Amino acid sequence: TGQIYMPFVNWGLFVMIVLAVVLFRSSSNLAAAYGIAVTLDMTITTVLTFFVIRYGWGYPLALCVAATGFFFAVDILFFSSNLLKLLQGGWFPLLIGGAIFTLMMTWKRGRELLGDKLREDSINLQDFLASVQANPPMRVDGTAVFLCAEAGVVPNALLHNLKHNKVLHRQNLFVTVQYHETPWIGLDQRLQVRSLGGDFWQVAVNYGFKNELDLPGALRLMHGRGCELDSMRTSYFLSRDVVVPTFGEGMAPWRQRLFAQMHHNASGVAAFLHLPSNAVVELGSKVEI
């Protein structure tokens, strides 16, 4: 309980372990790498324990320092002694940890820059709908579901759909998927629905981190709320942003290029949310960070 199985991560760890054993050839050659890995893990665990009991549980600072200070000193001594074998194989776990840390921080910072850029260029949804209703385009039968990273803004997919197809569906749902730090969220709390008028709806779909993601299944709960969805006449519009690195101040150029490649290789939203492949429309745009 309390664990999440991620097949890709587990198989990736398996491949890396096999490669490490093959490269080092014997357990004695792995001893230096193993020692640094274990002692560094012990040190990190002690530091995290301090932050949990201090900022998570709210215990007094003196008590937190007393509870973790002794273990931290012992861990640092063990780690320092193992650093003497840095050139004999101890560099290996530090290299792996540094590479993973770089990828994680690049992804985190890149997502922040991407989000800031999208918010900077975004249009307020209520103002946009008011202008659309004042000068309505042609409406076609069916339901369009637009996935939005943030509620209250116009998704790029809607703008591109209007620009190229010059039509709106009879019903339009602006859906934001929200993930919570609780394992399970029941069906009675799955949807938060708000009518925007004119057959436009703002929908928030809530998932716990152990809930199975199924967006079409969640939207079927709209039944009886004034918006009836027919799965055969529902289309899902996704914004596929292509990141273009620039010489800005957000990140170093090499990190921008790394994030652009990571963003390009990221798994698609359609498969992640179990959207029917024959009902998905992706509309792309370039975003400079």
Interval 241-271: pLDDT, tens: 888 888 767 788 899 999 999 988 887 788 8
What is the spatial distance between Cα 155 and Cα 151, in angstroms, rounded to a whole number? 9
How far is 189 from 183, CA to CA, in rounded Å?
A: 13
pLDDT at 71 over 90: yes
Do 154 and 122 contact (CB within 8 A), yes or no?
Answer: yes
Q: How much is the pLDDT for 203?
A: 94
Q: Please determine, for residue 59, whether its predicted confidence score (pLDDT) is greater than 90.
A: yes
Which residues share a beta bridge with 167?
138
Residue 95 is encoded by which pair of tokens? 């290299």
d(CA 192, CA 184): 16
| Terminal-residue alpha carbon distance, the chain | 40
Q: Residue 46's pLDDT is what?
A: 96
Structure tokens at 227: 């918006």
Higher per-residue confidence, 25 vs 66: 66
pLDDT of residue 132: 86
Q: Do residues 157 and 283 touch, judged by C-beta distance below 8 A?
A: yes
> Which H or E run includes 39?
helix 27-51
- Distance, CA of 103 to CA of 116 (rounded, Å): 20
| Average pLDDT for 208-219 | 90
Percent of the chain with pLDDT over 70: 98
Closest CA to 288 of 103, 148, 113: 113
pLDDT at 164 over 70: yes
pLDDT tens sequence across 172-197: 999 999 998 888 999 989 999 998 88
Residue 12 CA: distances (Å) to CA of 19, 122, 178, 205: 11, 38, 28, 31
Per residue in 97-122, pLDDT tens?
Answer: 999 999 999 999 999 988 888 888 88
Q: Is residue 61's pLDDT more than 60?
A: yes
- Count of CB atoms within 10 A of residue 283's CB? 19
**Average pLDDT rounded to a whole number, residues 272-289:** 85
Give mean pLDDT, residues 30-50: 92
Q: Which of 225 and 61 is assigned the larger pLDDT?
A: 61
Please state the separation of Cα 196 from the chain's center in Å: 28
What sign results for the dihedral spanned by CA atoms 165, 171, 174, 179? negative
Task: In whole angstroms, give the CA distance from residue 77 to residue 65.
Answer: 17
Helix (H, G, I), strand (E, B) or coil at 211: coil
What's the CA gap between 18 and 281, in Å, rounded? 41
- Please, which pLDDT band fits residue 239 given cuts at 50, 70 and 90? confident
Q: Which amino acid is at 195?
A: S
- pLDDT at res. 175: 94
> What is the mean predicted confidence (pLDDT) over 149-174?
88
Cα gap 289→38, rounded to integer Å: 38
Strands lying side by side in the sheet with 167-180: 191-197, 200-208, 167-180, 138-147, 234-244, 280-288
- 1 has pLDDT over 60: no
Percentage of the chain exceeding pLDDT 90: 38
pLDDT recorded at residue 283: 83
Instruction: Tell me the average pLDDT across 148-169.
Output: 87
Reply yes or no on whether the pLDDT at 2 is more than 60: no
Q: Enumerate the domain spans of the chain.
A: 7-119, 123-288
| Backbone angles phi and psi of 60, in degrees to 5 | -60, 150
Q: Which residue has the higher pLDDT, 8 or 109?
A: 109
Which two tokens mark 58? 């709210």
Q: What is the mean pLDDT of residues 26-39?
A: 85
Question: What is the token pair recorded at 161?
Answer: 């759909």
pTM confidence score = 0.79
